Structure 1
Amino acid sequence: MTEPWTAERLVSESLAQELIQIQFPELRPARAQLIGEGFDNMVYRVNERYVFRFPRRSIAVQLLERECTLLPELGRSSLALDIPLPIFEGTASPEFPWPFVGYGFLNGVPAYTLSLEQRMLSVERLAEFVKSLHRFPLDQAAKLGASYDTIGRFDFPVRLPKTMENRDKAVALGLWGDAAAFNPILENVNRCPLPPQAEALVHGDLHFRNLLADGHGELSSVIDWGDVHMGYRATDLGFVYGFLPPEGRTRFFSIYGKIDEPTRLLSRYRSIHINLFQLIYGHDKGDRPLVEAARQSLLLALEP
């Protein structure tokens, strides 16, 4: 069975350098170093100053195009955390059939490497960031090309069976012990009333691999904006429940603003769904630190 992160096309270091030098001769000689590989893109650091993302799957093309339209405007919004700003926009060519994008390099380590104590250092900054993002005018976002949720993140007839499948897979692989621990959330979330329409502009894929921290252990930037869309706040707030302990959440929502019980349950479900996925992905890639971080996030999400 093909996993959802299976690549359709890979870009080698030599091909990345060739593409960059052909389309952006001012960067010659281009020295590219692979620094990351997600579900949708391969990420190369170039000449120490830039990051270039090359799609691994065709679905990533429209996500990169959306980033190039929205990120410059978001960058003018005085967000509390840095975001990548497109500088180089490569086009499809005989050498590579899809566009690719270069950004200024944002230094940092993945947020999942932070201890709980370190995470508490960034509660205020994280809350201000999410609050500002969720207040971005929807009419302006629509004019910039933002769409609604096109993949049904809270389409429970489709999503819940997948969440339960991943739960059972995690147990079968020995990655998680008690499948029933998730029941109070999974058995009740589909009864939650969804807001009648999109509430906010959301990052759409806010998890601990898409936030970076600086050398002091504080959150510094948010990357990978391909899933940005107009949707439900719980899409992003799920990160809070898998990243912060209960006392951190209390501080977060004192700044962000209070949420109602349905939004809280939807957020906890979102955290479980994402982190079960990360747990299995980490296992498949042999990434033990990622597996341990996903397991910890699941434990946090289960805390009331």
Structure 2
Amino acid sequence: MARMPPATVEVSNAVVQRLVRDQRPDLADCPIERVANGWDNATFRLGDRLAVRLPRRAEAVPLILQEQRYLPDIARRSPVAVPVPGRPTSDFPWPWSIVRWVPGAAAADVGPAGRASAAKGLADFLLSLHVPAESGIPVNPFRGVPLTDRDGVLVERLKDHERYPQSAALRAVWAQACAAKVWGGPAMMLHGDLHPGNILLADDGSLAGVIDFGDVGAGDPAVDLAVGWLMFDAGTRRRFMRAFGSAVDGDTWMRARGWALILSTAMLSNSDDNPRMFAVGKFGIRQILGDGPILYL
């Protein structure tokens, strides 16, 4: 069974309560509730308006530092809510954040039909995010790089024919994506981990917010555009793509489909103990295969 990465440090409600009491005594009376336990971070709701995010494994420490460094600038440009980290100190062995609680239902917990109203808002968010990165912003070596850099890991995953009975068709999709023209523009600001678990919807299905910026960095914006296959069915995906107009060319959409394959297989191959992420990966594979000979904008 392929499982999520194990935690280096298990964080309980009691640990979070002690950290908050010691470092933010003004918030000590706020109720605490665990709301998410992802691959990299654990998230606890703190009262009605705040949340606490803590790394659950050592590899995630640089990610939360990046989030703390770059999110304030992203938040100033974003048309929707994103969490803006604080910088409380603590005796917790790693950096952690108290952030603003962004209300909304995770798109991963909403059916595809209920996500459709978020297409335009998500496109607008990405248009605001994808600006040339300032000098010094690092490239994430696993996201936003040329697709060929990820060839080895994808080929290895697709050898699992029991998990991927459509491996031949998926290899053909991958070959098409890798044949697309590489990104030739400036390195752009990226979310880096944009999938339905990190997208929040309002009661009417519109976009309420985007969370989990641990993979923020610079590179090819196609990695974020892959959300079109992870989030939407074919009809809504076309509306999502059209919302970008001439800002995104056909080669970038082809690379985005390749990134959707990378991200979907990452979830399917490593989430046997996380049904929510497994379902996101399964949906992504179905959308990728269902495209057929799609004409990209």
TM-score range, shorter chain: 0.7 to 0.9
CA separation of 1:200 and 1:165: change in aligned 2, threshold 3 A: same
Is 2:96 the partner of 1:97? no
Amino acid paired to 1:113: D
TM-score by length of 1: 0.86
Alignment-derived partner of residue 153 in structure 2: 162
Can you list the C-alpha shifts for 1:191-249, whole angstroms capped at 9, x where unaligned?
A: 33322454421111111111111222222110000111111010101111332233323
Letter in 1 for 2:67: E
- Of residues 112, 120, 124, the one that matches 2:120 is 124
Moved more, 186-195 or 39-48: 186-195
Are 2:169 and 1:181 equivalent residues in the alignment? yes
Q: Match of 1:274, as an amino acid?
A: L
CA contact (8 A) 1:80 1:126 kept: no
Return 5+ residue gaps in structure 1 as ranges.
Answer: none
- Counterpart of 2:210 (choices 222, 233, 245) is 222
Q: How is 1:2-151 mapped onto 2 (pairs within 5 angstroms)?
A: 5-77=5-77, 79-86=78-85, 88-93=86-91, 96-135=92-131, 137-139=132-134, 142=135, 146-151=137-142
Aligned partner (choices 178, 193, 209) of residue 181 of structure 2: 193
Please list, as runs of the form range in 1=range in 2, the aligned pairs for 1:238-249 lying within 5 A after superposition. Answer: 238-249=226-237
- Aligned alpha-carbon RMSD (Å): 2.4
**Percentage identity across paired residues of the two chains:** 26
Partner of 2:266: 277
Read off the aligned partner of 1:278 and give its amino acid letter. M
1-side partners of 2:145 and 2:74: how far apart?
Answer: 25
Which moves more between the two structures, 195-204 or 152-161?
152-161
Corresponding letter in the other structure for 2:133: L
Cα drift, residue 276 of structure 1:
1.6
Q: CA deviation at 1:138?
A: 2.5
Distance 2:169 2:2 in 1: 28
Give how far 1:260 is off: 3.0
After TM superposition, the score normalised by the length of structure 2 is 0.87
Deviation at 1:156, TM superposition (A): 4.8
Mapped to 1, the partners of 2:149 and 2:256 lie a distance apart of: 17
Instruction: Supply the distance in 2 between the matched residues of 1:115 and 1:284 (Cα, whole angstroms).
Output: 21
Over 3 Å counting, the alpha-carbon distance change for 1:157 and 1:270 in structure 2 is closer
Alpha-carbon separation, structure 2, partners of 1:132 and 1:26: 35
Q: Per-residue displacement from partner, 1:89-138 (whole Å, max 9, x unpaired)?
A: 23352xx2111101111122221233333222122111111111113x42
How many angstroms does 1:50 deviate by?
1.3
Shift of 1:59: 2.5
